[in-house]
A and B are shown apart, each in its own frame.
Chain A
Amino acid sequence: MKPIIEVTELSKAYGDNVVLKNISVDIDSKEVVVVIGPSGSGKSTFLRCLNLLEEPTGGNIAIEGKSLMDKSTSITKIRTEVGMVFQQFNLFPHLKVLDNITLGPIQIRKWPAQKAKSKAMELLDKVGLADKANAFPASLSGGQSQRVAIARALAMEPKIMLFDEPTSALDPEMVGEVLAVMKELAKEGMTMVVVTHEMGFAREVGDRVIFMEQGYIVEQGTPEQIFERPQQERTKAFLSKVL
């Protein structure tokens, strides 16, 4: 089967500062790929290139066979298939939780309000926040906010979910509730690319772990390979610091 995401010799530079160097990686449907690495390694930039929040300066990205670099590809259309969860949640503070979730389906998918609402309630139930439907984001804790953000992304019924350090802005006691939702999602067969510092999650949930440093993919493999038998010195050095 053809990979759902094909990244070929991707590079990204801000002026002279090259942050991604010839990244090539294929991701299969239903695969959970966890990207780890020190800060400044380019892992978030890599993730943000996958839905073109960052414009690559070279190489190619194809999602379901459609090149994102191709001028005829509708990037807004691709983005409806690729959900994203941010470190800072980025909930819409002027909208109630329910309206945060239904905005996309109603305005972009053109669903009738009733259908969008029942889908949103179903998702809120799934992330354990059905009682917060009419709350405003400001009244939520970090963990609750991030779970709503996940529900918001899922409401578009994406085929791929991108997670950009989803637990890094959370108080430690709230990390678990967010990871639990992500774990559930992985179990259901969602294709996921997760940038995280949660090594436990990478080990337990990841099908594949990619270690990045200084804009390169240094090493990739199953969690066992990366965590138990890393081949590269730099991988070993990084893991010895975080584990």
Chain B
Amino acid sequence: MDFRFDIIWDYAPLLLKGTLYTIAISISSILLGSILGLGVSFGKMSSRRFLRWPMQSYVNFFRGTPLLVQIYIVHFGLIPLLYGKTNALIAAITALSLNAAAYTAEIYRAGIQSIDKGQMEAAKSLGMTHAQAMRFVILPQAIRRMIPAFGNEFIVLVKDSSLVALITAPEIMYWSNAMKAQYIRVWEPYLAAAFIYFVLTYFLSKLLAAVERKV
């Protein structure tokens, strides 16, 4: 078996471009997903049933159906419905964000509920509203405990973002597929993709470990 580094070299500019897309899609999705997930988790923990029930269903749906199916629903259904036409990049970020929101919502909930209830009582006894107590007392403590789980979620999201190649978002996997089609070769495109993903997640895990040590 010969391994043709030269075709990887030919494709390097496109793979690099794809890598930047993967990074951009992942960062946007984790940010949007985390913000959305915070809202979902508050809804889920609410004592009001009309808030709790829809948010519980949201989490059940996004955890209970395959990400690829969600990507297709968003790409071929939701985005054309809202936007008038398809857009792979917007669909990719939307689907990954919605999915991440369901998982991060559970991370928030577990983190918040792990804080001793005396903390909320102490905050309230000072005269804080529930929102102030969350912001100044509960969340700063809970977030520290959430960092490892968030790290996992972030790494999973980077890898799962490869699925959006199937709706032609021009990220790493998309260009690997293109390379395979052009040269009719299997090892070079996919090992190159695997290598890039590995480098990304490896550095991400190092970065997260550093963050964890710092806070």
Contact = CB atoms under 8 A, between A and B. Distances in A.
Interface of A: 51, 53, 76-77, 79-80, 82-84, 86, 88, 90-94, 103-104, 107-108, 149, 152-153, 156
Interface of A is mostly: mixed
B128 A86 contact: no
Interface string B129-150: 1001000110011001000000
B124 interface: yes
A103 B121 contact: no
Contact of B118 (A76, A82, A86, A103): A86
Nearest to A109: B127
Contact of B127 (A77, A91, A149): A77
Interface in B158-206: none
A156 B127 contact: yes
Interface residues of B, number: 18
B122 interface: yes
Contacts of B121: 53, 84, 86, 90
Contacts of A93: 141
B47 to A, nearest CB: 12
B38 to A, nearest CB: 18
6 contacts: A76-B124, A86-B122, A86-B125, A92-B119, A153-B125, A156-B127
Given A76-B128, A94-B141, A153-B125, 4 more contacts: A53-B124, A79-B127, A84-B121, A153-B126
A102 to B, nearest CB: 11
Query: B interface, by DSSP: helix, strand, loop or mixed?
Result: helix
Contacts of B125: 51, 53, 79, 82-84, 86, 153
B124 A90 contact: no
B122 A108 contact: no
Given A92-B137, A94-B140, A79 B124 contact: yes
Contacts of B124: 53, 76, 79
Contacts of A152: 126
Contacts of B137: 92, 103
Contacts of B127: 76-77, 79-80, 104, 108, 156
Interface in B76-126: 116, 118-119, 121-126
A92 B125 CA distance: 13
Ordered nearest first, which 8 A-B pairs have the shortest CB separation? A80-B127, A90-B122, A84-B125, A90-B118, A104-B126, A79-B127, A108-B127, A94-B140
A79 B128 CA distance: 8
